[in-house]
Structure 1
């Protein structure tokens, strides 16, 4: 483009200073420097993008002049429309036998024939890697594929069967259609292929896409393992659906009763009390299946005004749980308003992830060696452990100072993990009260408290609460174990 060499060298220096390191078997390898690409957020990015897009535009123009760019039309496109488009853009029409990036530009009904050259090329390349036999040497003893396909823990080599792996990925997409029916992809597929039923009952149909056929090819994997959880039972057929928690069929094995042939499970439930109709169960099922049905936990649904529901909940929750409930309800309400008024959809799973995380901390003191051990454990809204920390340092062997340093370490860990909504919990009431107090203390512990408050001021939402020692067991064990670190 005619830029000075010095200017080019400066830009390359900005681009090539970043380094990467690959993790192999959980061990970082030797770092290497890329020759292309920018660090995310680099202020040079938009300018270099404009320069590159300008060059790309010129390359495309030259390719167009030489006839390298072509347009592919569906066979349903009218000849008049083809001629009008080709004459307007001055491009040639792509043929079905042409390739793009080594793959067929068009895949019709003869899929095996379309991909046969690629398969043959792969087989020929693989044959060059195989070792044959010589007169003076014996032939290599190959491991059976079943053994190679096992995981390394089971004594195999960890290779994956491509067909099974592909079916697993397709089944995962089917599960997403079931779990996220409001997504754009699910709504498009439902409108086109199963607008009167659901994904599990949809039929193949005629003149369908290869993608839809692939989804249905993997559907039996889902159908084999899925079974219904019973709420009101309105959607579950007694005889044809899987709803009994008993392998291997998960279906009713009792003889079909003509009067209940098309009945739903709701016919077996008392709508007023939500309990099973025992007389009906004994009439329809064998004795052993009656016992299985009675053990099914039903999802009870209550229609209750929201105000009364809140009152019932507040009567049984403690103060902290009430605050968490109120915050969650507010986020649900905000999510609803964003969808109704701003047409912004937020996945419910993402909503749950925005709730508070809990960080519990504790500290232990080794008075002989003048050391302290700090333990921190962070859990998410569901009680799942997000992170743990064990830290040892030399310090004056004072329990209050140690607990204060533990709180500082817990806040620092939350910052490192970019947690924005945190509930900090410790079993040192003096430290908790000092953090929540507005009075500045100038003793050694008070200086640490000031550091804690400064770090907390940069976080979104936080609170510091006291918990008894018997609830803070894991953090206490981590702190004790930290004293053993070398």
Structure 2
């Protein structure tokens, strides 16, 4: 029996994300910027108060890249362009009209209790989301994701000791790129000592690699 299925050699996307990352990262992730632009472009012709524009930016425009940022370190140029689009929309720019930005956009990153608006710093958000994936690998060693990544990239070492290799995927490279976020605030629980490296793991404040701890793993 023959079925009318079309055979394909490969898939450009899977679950909305690219399956292959070439040399031009900006070209691959341009689709993320375009999605944000399409949303903002549709809103520009409508009347919105500045408070309304704030809600749209937070709930939709800055949320669109979040899915991709959980898996990939997006190019800085893409993140900066998204920031520019959100900034122009917030100040009420329409079409090619340019309006004055009365406050530096970076000041809006602060919470409202500190005089800001609570907008996301896209670069920091990207690294935080990738650090969250790194945390899952460290703390859920029995998960399928952790087992696959450990078997492929660091079979004989811990995650914090995993080395960068030329044949690694861009997803793994992105996660390793956010590893320092964990190292800045991680503390090892000694427990029975079987998994603790006395001179390497940050477990006592007198060691050189111990930093202000905010998270704990066993």
| Alignment TM-score, normalising by the size of structure 1 | 0.28
Kindly state the Cα deviation for residue 115 of structure 1 after the two structures are TM-superposed.
Answer: 2.8
Which residue is 1:228 aligned to? 188
- Alignment correspondent of 1:34: none
Question: Do the aligned partners of residues 112 and 190 (structure 1) sit closer, same or farther apart at CA in structure 2, a change above 3 Å counting?
Answer: same
Q: What displacement does 1:179 show?
A: 1.3
- Distance in 2, matches of 1:184 and 1:156, equals 41
Is 2:119 aligned against 1:182?
no
* Deviation at residue 169 of structure 1 after TM alignment: 1.7
Task: Determine which structure has the larger strand proportion and give its number.
Answer: 1
Distance in 1 separating the partners of 2:187 and 2:106: 30
For residue 241 of structure 1, report the CA deviation from its aligned partner.
Answer: 3.4
Are 2:198 and 1:243 equivalent residues in the alignment?
Answer: no
Offset, 1:163:
2.3
Q: Which residue of 2 aligns with 1:72?
A: 9
Distance 2:137 2:116 in 1: 34
Query: Which one of the candidate residues 195, 214, 223 is aligned to 2:155?
Result: 195
Task: Confirm or deny that 1:207 pairs with 2:167.
Answer: yes
Unaligned segments of structure 1, at least 5 residues: 1-59, 74-93, 133-137, 252-486
Let me know the Cα RMSD of the aligned residues: 3.8
Deviation at 1:191, TM superposition (A): 0.8
Using the alignment, how far apart are the partners of 1:117 and 1:199 within structure 2? Answer: 31
8 Å contact kept, 2:153–2:162: yes
Aligned length: 158
1:167 aligns with 2:104: no
Is the Cα–Cα contact under 8 Å of residues 21 and 170 in structure 2 kept in the other structure? Answer: no
Kindly indicate whether the alpha-carbon contact (under 8 Å) linking 1:171 and 1:215 is maintained by their aligned counterparts in 2.
yes
Cα gap change, 1:225 to 1:248, in 2 (>3 Å):
farther
Give how far 1:216 is off: 0.6
- Cα 1:118/1:212, change in 2 over 3 Å: closer
Inter-partner Cα distance in structure 2 for 1:165 and 1:122: 16
Which has the higher Rg, Structure 1 or Structure 2? Answer: 1
| Residue 23 of structure 2, aligned match among 102, 106, 109 | 109
Give SS of 1:174's match. Answer: helix
**CA distance in 2: counterparts of 1:186 and 1:101, whole angstroms:** 20
Distance 2:179 2:209 in 1: 17
In 1, Cα distance between the equivalents of 2:14 and 2:209? 47
Task: Provide the rounded CA distance (Å) in 1 between the counterparts of 2:155 and 2:16.
Answer: 37
Which range is displaced more, 159-168 or 212-221? 159-168
The answer to whether the 8 A contact 1:228-1:236 is kept is no
Q: CA deviation at 1:166?
A: 2.1
Is the contact made by 1:131 and 1:140 (CA closer than 8 Å) also made in structure 2?
no
**CA distance in 2: counterparts of 1:226 and 1:243, whole angstroms:** 9
Please name the residue that 1:119 is paired with: 33
